[in-house]
Amino acid sequence: MARVLTIILNWRTPDMTIRAAEAAIAAMEGVAGGIVIVDNDSGDGSEERLRAAVADSGWSRVRVVQSGRNGGFGAGNNAGIRTGLADGARPDYVYLLNSDAFPAPDAIRVLRDHLQDHKQTGLAGSYIHGTDDAPHVTCFRFPSVASEFEGAAQTGPISRLLRHAVIPQPIPEQVARMDWVAGASLMMRQDMLDRIGAFDEEYFLYFEETDLCLRAARAGWQTDYVPASRVAHIGSVSTGMKEWARTPDYWFDSRWRYFRKNHGLATAVAATLAQTAGLAINRLRVALGSSRRSGSRGFMRDLLAHDIRALTTGIRPASVHTDKASATERTT
């Protein structure tokens, strides 16, 4: 029987993580494997709270481990992957669940069955919806120079002209192949991870699952969206993205790393120039009262300052971003 390793990453949200674990336990009914809760060096008593909850509840299939550092979403999940199943057996699939996400009783089984039936699929993502049942956008194209321009400009004629590059995709009603899907509820084939590796730990937060899906695609694995797997997601509990007044440096670091690593320096520079041009169009339209503003306050200035610095001195390693955000959250 195929075995699933479920990983829930915690950073300073122990009560929410316990709720996610309860939902995951129910969804693992009839599924071989186990659950690992990784505390990402919260330093606020989370680990003790989680261990006590597991012991008090008698959850025999759940273990709590300490990552030892808040190295980001990828590093924290990699710690869970390295921990593995309690009996040391190799899992067939690794399932990532956000600490503020709650799978339906059959959500994990549906993803497992899909991967078992589709041998070329390396990753499978769920239909994510809010607690109000509103769907979250979790299906995407890979970023490109054209998508940077289109996404920043946010104007109808440009979006229609570059419709092939628009990153967010309409939510399909049936199983569909995607470039990448959000990691709030994501199952990965262990055979694929053995071939291409797990998450790149140089990303602190954001773009790491995009990077993984791109590496998978280049190695011949596809990513599927599986809407029958339904997961409720609160979103941005740990990162506070919904309340960002300014975009944090780690987001710019991750964006630059994605383009520089996967497409080369010239493309990284072109992507920044394209986004800047798109933002300039957007700002003109905002001044004319015909558009809403793209990006957070000071975004264009921060983007240019960051990427000029990245060109001259490089970007900071993910390990410097301590206490800036959870390394748990995949927002939608």
| Mean pLDDT, residues 174-199 | 98
Name residue 2's amino acid. A
pTM: 0.94
In whole angstroms, what is the distance from residue 255 CA to residue 259 CA?
Answer: 7
Residue 109 lies in a domain: yes
Per-residue pLDDT, 316: 80
**Contact, 176 vs 110, CB < 8 A?**
no
- Are the C-beta atoms of residues 303 and 312 closer than 8 Å to each other? no
Residue 145: which pLDDT band, with cuts at 50, 70 and 90?
very high
CATH code for the domain of 131? 3.90.550.10
Per-residue tokens: 323: 């206490």
pLDDT tens, position by position, 263-305: 999 999 999 999 999 999 999 999 999 888 988 889 999 999 9
The average pLDDT across 124-150 equals 96
DSSP summary character for residue 255:
H
pLDDT at residue 245 greater than cutoff 90: no
Dist. CA 186–CA 200, nearest whole Å = 16
In a domain, 112, yes or no: yes
Tens-digit pLDDT profile for residues 57-66? 999 999 999 9
Query: For 122, phi and psi rounded to 5 degrees?
Result: -95, -25
| Number of structural domains the chain divides into | 1
Question: What range does the domain containing 194 cover?
Answer: 3-242
Q: How far apart are CA 185 and CA 171, in angstroms?
A: 15
Go through 70-94 and write b for each residue having 16 or more CB atoms within 10 A of its CB, e for each that does not. Answer: bbbbbbbbbbbbebbbeeeeebbbb
Helix (H, G, I), strand (E, B) or coil at 49: helix
Residue with tokens 């599927």: 224
Confidence of residue 35 (pLDDT cuts 50, 70, 90): very high
* Residue 189 lies inside a defined structural domain of this protein: yes
What's the mean per-residue pLDDT of the chain?
Answer: 93
Model confidence at 240: pLDDT above 80? no
Residue 269 domain flag: no
Is the residue at 116 inside a domain? Answer: yes
- Asked, for residue 317, whether it belongs to a domain, the answer is no
In a domain, 213, yes or no: yes
Q: Would you say residue 118 lies in a domain?
A: yes
Helix-then-strand count for the chain, H and E: 11, 11
